[in-house]
Structure 1
Amino acid sequence: MVLSCPHRWYRAAGVPRGAQPQPHVVDLRSDTVTRPSARMRQAMAQAEVGDDDYGEDPTVNVLRKDPLPPTVTLSHAELQHSAAKLLGMEEALFVPTSTMANLVAVMCHCQRRGAQLLVGREAHLHVFEQGGVAQVAGVHSQALQDLPDGTLDLSELESTIREGYGSRYHPRLELICLENTHSSAGGRVLPLTYLREVRLLADQYGLRIHMDGARLMNAAVAQGVPPAQITQHCDSVSLCFSKGLGAPAGALVAGRREFVAEAWRTRKLLGGGMRQAGVLAAAARVGLECVEETLQRDHRNARSFAQGVWELSSPFCSVNLSAVETNMVLVKVAGPWLSPEKLCERMQAVSEEEVAETGHAVSVRLFPWAADSLRAVWHQDISAHDTQLVANKLKFVARQCSREQGAAA
């Protein structure tokens, strides 16, 4: 029975008579559900702003020719310049979303008619961005099969390149797109050795590389390396501020100076020119300042949950511990009568039985990811205590399922 009205079990759980129960909600659907921290809100309120479309917003600007006003602190100024240095790129451009950042990058790299890019079949850019590279940019994508760790098979990649290289019958191959971390692979990190191999291959055939780095900082923290050590193998990179970094909105695309100049024009074309964008840039800057501490905690919590699922040894759900590298956990759900959707529903619902058995009313929001799996994503709003509550809830649901299956047998 889902919680709805006062009942005797409220008092057993310590809820005063007549009080309406408020389940503790743990939202693990994505790291996009975060709310700005108090520090971010303060930075947004105090941000020095101007018209970014005129290049006059000091919190966003790539470079300033005049000294910073005394009211502007360096910690919240020049997001684009600071981020470019962090990524080892010459310049960067602040844009509203990572989807726009990726589209801008593709349009800047693939300006000839008949251009083609190579991308993983499960890549976010290929699956979840409405085919913008074809619909808007007119660029042909050839999708290759992703391996379980989010990489592409290098032999297949090279044979695909060679098949169309110099051909008058194939589209003009211009670009290779990578995703790091790889969302559909469960937040897997692309190995540095793999990135070097792709770079050598791209150079051999005169191709460029764009990295969808929406969660690039997760990859850097997981590998214990500066972001620039990852992006040195790419011609351009996108970075999202509204995922693990916890900002309410914003992303950037970075690369060489000439590339970013063209990216500004493309952003304007796509309607991405912003005005007093420093309000958003200030929150993004705070996210960058706290990134290592925040993401290390997220990774620990995700790993802790995955360990709990593994130790549960349930016939209804399991996890591949070796695949949990960052803030995502893919939980495999065993059928036939329990689907990912059904398990997500049971994790979100709260019953009298749960409160009586566990002493807690916990509603966990998860994402049914595939036909046989669900996804949980950790972020700055989820504590170690929340993580333990989620693990306890899963144990309770697993016991429920066992009892129900036994009764049906």
Structure 2
Amino acid sequence: MVTRSVDMRSDTVTKPTETMRAAMAIAEVDDDILGLDPTAAQLEAEMARIMGKEAALFVASGTMANLISVLTHCQIRGSEVILGEYSHIVIYENGGISTIGGVHPRTVKNNEDGTMDIDLIEKAIRDPNLAICCPTTRLICLENSNAHSGGRCLSVEYTDKVGELAKKHGLMLHIDGSRIFNASVALGVPVHRLAQAADSVTACLSKGLGAPAGTIIAGSKSFISKARILRKTLGGGIRQVGILCAAGLVALQENVAKLENDHKNAKILAKEISKIKGLKVDAATVETNIVFVEVSKDSSITERELLEMLKARGVYVSQPGPRKIRLVLHHQISEDDVHYAVSCFQKVINGSQLEMLAIE
């Protein structure tokens, strides 16, 4: 019977700390739909400050945050947003911007580091003179850090260039900053500087920061006022939401400082797994807390078999695609847990190879 559990399916699997639970229990609350919850107001003001924007809004999830942001910028149905072909909004958010908002996604190829070529973004912008036939481009979206690229970070210089391009064409810029605190720590750049060129930015509280729920949207006062109305329209108004916001405040106070250790553990994990025959990891590209592992075509085990055999040893990972394994570090995974996970990978791979030799 396995008694040890190392859960690296995502950084969303963290459990609230005792400090969070205590803060939630005593949180001062009121009706947030009426704008009266004091703990929500405290969190929103602090996040607006951190993100360098005039105002902020707590919403239930990152998916809701991106949907509200896109719809607030693109209030006319038939508008178009330019974003990466592998962005979270395109792949993992149920096509909400189209089905709910009537906003058309125009995708641009993502490079391996999560960026899109500036010239390709510019080529994707519709000619306003063709508005009678084509959607009207109103928004560009970036994702920092970029989940599909393995948590790679977009630099200030790159984001600024996209911001300049947006302004040149009279467009808005939104940053899906679900893991922007990871990018900030990895790059050694304050969050507000990473978001400076953006008209709106999100930050998830329930990923690396370890709160049980919630995402913050930040932008101008006018933008947030419109976003607040859309939040209610989408059913996202929560009355005494200060209970959740209290955990978010603790996350900012206690867990931002732990992200650097998550990144260190991710690099250790990548380096050690890269030594295992039959598995491929580009350890040099691990910048934050996400590690992608490729199961070689000539491996004696499939990715599904690997998942199940690791699970039997108490190590939980996810499968984002064919022959791919994803591991995500968070503050409740220790360096000792990392070494245990590596040993399980070794035992599973080496054991399967021995079984194949025996069959031969």
Give the TM-score normalised by structure 2.
0.97
CA distance in 1, matches of 2:307, 2:150: 17
Match of 2:342 among 377, 391, 399: 391
The amino acid across from 1:57 in the alignment is D
Q: Is the 8 A contact 1:110 1:116 kept in 2?
A: yes
**TM-score w.r.t. length of structure 1:** 0.85
Q: Specify the alignment match of 2:19 in structure 1.
A: 39
Secondary structure class of the residue paired with 2:218 = strand
What one-letter code is carried by the residue in structure 1 that aligns with 2:37?
Answer: D
Deviation at residue 401 of structure 1 after TM alignment: 2.4
The offset of 1:309, in angstroms, is 1.2
Aligned AA (2:294)? K
Cα deviation code 1:143-186 (max 9, x no counterpart): 1111111111222111112x534323210000011111111111
3-state SS in 1 of match to 2:162: helix
Q: Distance in 2 between matches of 1:408 and 1:295?
A: 45
**Shift in Å at residue 404 of structure 1?**
2.3
Deviation at 1:313, TM superposition (A): 4.2
Indicate yes or no: 2:281 matched with 1:346.
Answer: no
Instruction: Look up the match of 1:299.
Output: 263
Could you say what secondary structure the match of 2:130 adopts?
coil
CA contact 2:138–2:171 (8 Å) conserved in 1:
yes
Residue 332 of structure 1, aligned match among 286, 294, 302: 294
State which drifts further: 393-402 or 207-216: 393-402
Match for residue 53 of structure 1 among 26, 33, 44: 33
Distance, in Å, in 2 between the alignment partners of 1:327 and 1:43 is 27
- Give, in angstroms, the shift of residue 402 of structure 1: 2.2
Match of 1:68 in 2: none
What is the rounded CA distance, in whole Å, between the counterparts of 2:129 and 2:288 in structure 1? 40
SS across alignment from 2:39: coil
Contact 1:91 1:256 in 2 (8 A): yes
**Superposed counterparts of 1:115-194, under 5 Å:** 115-161=79-125, 163-168=126-131, 169-194=133-158
Q: Which runs of 4+ in 1 moved over 4 A?
A: none
Task: Give the SS at the match of 1:271.
Answer: coil
Aligned twin of 1:371: 322
2:196 pairs with one of 232, 253, 267 = 232
- Whichever residue aligns with residue 19 of structure 2, its letter is R
Tell me how far 1:341 sits from its aligned partner: 1.6
Report whether the alignment pairs 1:91 with 2:55.
yes
Separation in structure 2 between the aligned mates of residue 165 and residue 366 of structure 1, nearest angstrom: 46
Whole-angstrom CA distance in 1 between matches of 2:289 and 2:127: 38
Q: Secondary structure at the match of 2:36?
A: coil
Q: Provide the residue aligned with 1:102 in structure 2.
A: 66
Give the conservation status (yes or no) of the 8 Å contact 2:262–2:329.
Answer: yes
C-alpha displacement of 1:339: 2.4
Query: How far apart are 1:224 and its partner, in Å?
Result: 0.9
1:287 aligns with: 251
> How far apart, in 1, do the equivalents of 2:20 and 2:32 lie?
20
Task: Give the C-alpha shift of residue 398 in structure 1.
Answer: 2.0
Alignment equivalent of 1:320, drawn from 268, 279, 282: 282
**2:255, 2:331 within 8 Å by CA — same for their partners in 1?**
no
* 1:262 and 2:226 matched: yes
* Rg comparison, structure with higher value: 1
Identity rate, percent: 40
Alignment of 1:11-26 (within 5 A): 21-26=1-6
Kept in 2: contact 1:164–1:171 (CA 8 A)? no
Gaps of 5+ in 2: none
Whether the 8 Å contact between 1:176 and 1:208 is mirrored in structure 2 is yes
Deviations 1:190-210 (A, max 9, x none): 122211111111111111111
Where structure 1 has 5 or more consecutive residues not aligned to the other structure, the ranges are 1-20, 62-77, 350-361
User: C-alpha separation between the residues in 1 aligned to 2:77 and 2:241?
Assistant: 33
